[in-house]
A and B are shown apart, each in its own frame.
Chain A
Amino acid sequence: MAVDKEPKGEGGLEIHPMDQFAIKPLFGDGDLGILTITNSTMWMALVLAAVSALLILGMRGRALVPTRIQSVAELLYGFVRQMVTDVLGEEGIKFFPYIFTLFVFILFSNILGLLPYSFTVTSHIAITGVLALVIFCTVIVIGFMKNGLGFLKLFWIEAAPLPLRPVLAAIEVISFFVRPLSHSIRLAGNMMAGHAVLKVFAAFVPALSIFGILPLAMMVAVTGLEVLVAVVQAYIFAILTCIYLKDALHPSH
């Protein structure tokens, strides 16, 4: 730590908390084309590998009495299935594989992103935005397919007194179209903020030499908090997806 400190020295504390989010090509350093394999691509592949290891290799034994890894996989399955049936009811089971995929993808991206030197796929608005937009479009398509024009009842609140209804309709329409924005920025923002805070604390550790123990202790605490945030944000993303899909299935409040 002390050795590290010398070259940077008192010349000025340089903190680049946003550098960790930079997307760089893994091979060469040309322009980013659509097929370019970047660090983001690599971490998505690692998420895929980790999920497969847990849910496919972990379940390989098909043991009647589960091993540790198998019970984690089963818990994950039971947790998401419970969430889907709680919000959407039995008819929501057909959306279960989709919601499960989203949940594990986000959960593993968030958690792998906490490893030192890693890259957090879900800290990018491009990723969360696309996920949220796909859900938004799915809700609209399913809503009109299942209910026809009855889907518009979502905005026409019949429980409210008649004069209030147009005002509420305007509010409902705005909130409906803001959904993909809030849905995606909530996740990306949480991931970005937490990692940036960790980076800032990390930069203070070598700069303060022996007193670096204080920001280090803070980092430990914040890392614990970030683990919680990683899980909670994946849960929030998944349960909001369920709630939005519920609107598509049952538009009348």
Chain B
Amino acid sequence: MGIGVLGATAVTGTEAAEEAAKKAEAGGLPQLDFSTFPSQIFWLAVTVIVLFWLMNKIALPRIASVLEERADAIADDLDRAEEFKRKAAEAEEAYQQALADARAKAHEIVAETKAEIQKDVDAAMAKADAEISARSAESEKRIREIRASAMAAVEEVATDTAGAVIESVLPDVMDADAVKSAVRARMN
């Protein structure tokens, strides 16, 4: 067939002829062309053995170690987080304790200060009271003196008046001492 074809088409012609021959040999399906089997099987064996070696010696151990490292790291991190949580709880407790202490101390200081101020106030009050009572005693004393002098003046005036009245009415019986004692008796 290829012999009959001329010139430019010769190349494609022989190719087509070759393929046709191959197909006839293979029964149409390239999969059933048994002449390709030895080559396919040989290279399959080489490929699979190399692939198996690469996987078994390099890839799989590497992936396994990475996964294990990650699992370890995660477990570690969880442990650490637990630790931190515990520490945080401790710190919170300490803070609450400090707060309670500070509050108690503040109360104490307030009470102390209050007591001190109270004491000062009491002292001032006592002093003021003493002054007030001293002053009022003095005033009373003065009032008493004024009243006494007033009484004395009244007595003198009454005595003089009574003396003058008796002297003008009964000059014979005039006794200054008797008048004085009589006026004093009437006054009290």
Write out the residue numbers on chain B whose beta carbons fall within 8 Å of the beta carbon of A97. 52, 55-56, 60
Q: Is the CB of A23 within 8 A of B43?
A: no
Q: Is the CB of B44 within 8 A of A48?
A: no
Q: Is the CB of B55 within 8 A of A55?
A: yes
Taking the complex as formed, is A62 at the interface, i.e. its CB lies under 8 A from any CB of chain B?
A: yes
Q: Is the CB of A62 within 8 A of B62?
A: yes
Whole-angstrom distance between the Cβ of A101 and the nearest chain B Cβ: 4
Closest to A21 in B: B30
Taking the complex as formed, is B54 at the interface, i.e. its CB lies under 8 A from any CB of chain A?
A: yes
Taking the complex as formed, is A242 at the interface, i.e. its CB lies under 8 A from any CB of chain B?
A: no
Write out the residue numbers on chain B whose beta carbons fall within 8 Å of the beta carbon of A27. none
Give Cα A34 to B41, complex, Å: 8
Give Cα A87 to B129, complex, Å: 105
Q: Secondary structure of the B side of the interface? A: helix
Segment with Cβ contacts to A, from B65-73, B97-105, B135-143: B65-73
Q: Is the CB of A59 within 8 A of B63?
A: yes
Write out the residue numbers on chain B whose beta carbons fall within 8 Å of the beta carbon of A124. 30-31, 36, 40
Q: Is the CB of B59 within 8 A of A40?
A: no
Taking the complex as formed, is B173 at the interface, i.e. its CB lies under 8 A from any CB of chain A?
A: no
Give Cα A184 to B47, complex, Å: 18
Q: Is the CB of B38 within 8 A of A100?
A: no
Q: Is the CB of B60 within 8 A of A23?
A: no
Question: Could you say which interface size class chain A belongs to?
Answer: 35 or more
Q: Is the CB of B43 within 8 A of A18?
A: no
Taking the complex as formed, is A204 at the interface, i.e. its CB lies under 8 A from any CB of chain B?
A: no
Closest to B26 in A: A22
Write out the residue numbers on chain A whose beta carbons fall within 8 Å of the beta carbon of B56. 97, 101
Q: Is the CB of A45 within 8 A of B47?
A: yes
- Minimum-distance CB pairs A-B, first 5: A55-B59, A21-B30, A34-B38, A23-B36, A44-B47
Question: Which residues of A line the B interface, CB within 8 A?
Answer: 18-19, 21-23, 31-38, 40-41, 44-45, 47-48, 51-52, 55-56, 59, 62-64, 66, 70, 73-74, 77-78, 96-98, 100-102, 104-105, 121, 123-127, 130-131, 188, 192
Question: Which residues of B line the A interface, CB within 8 A?
Answer: 19, 22, 28-33, 35-45, 47-48, 50-52, 54-56, 58-60, 62-67, 69-70, 73
9 contacts between A and B (CB under 8 A): A21-B31, A40-B39, A44-B43, A47-B47, A55-B63, A62-B62, A62-B66, A74-B63, A126-B44
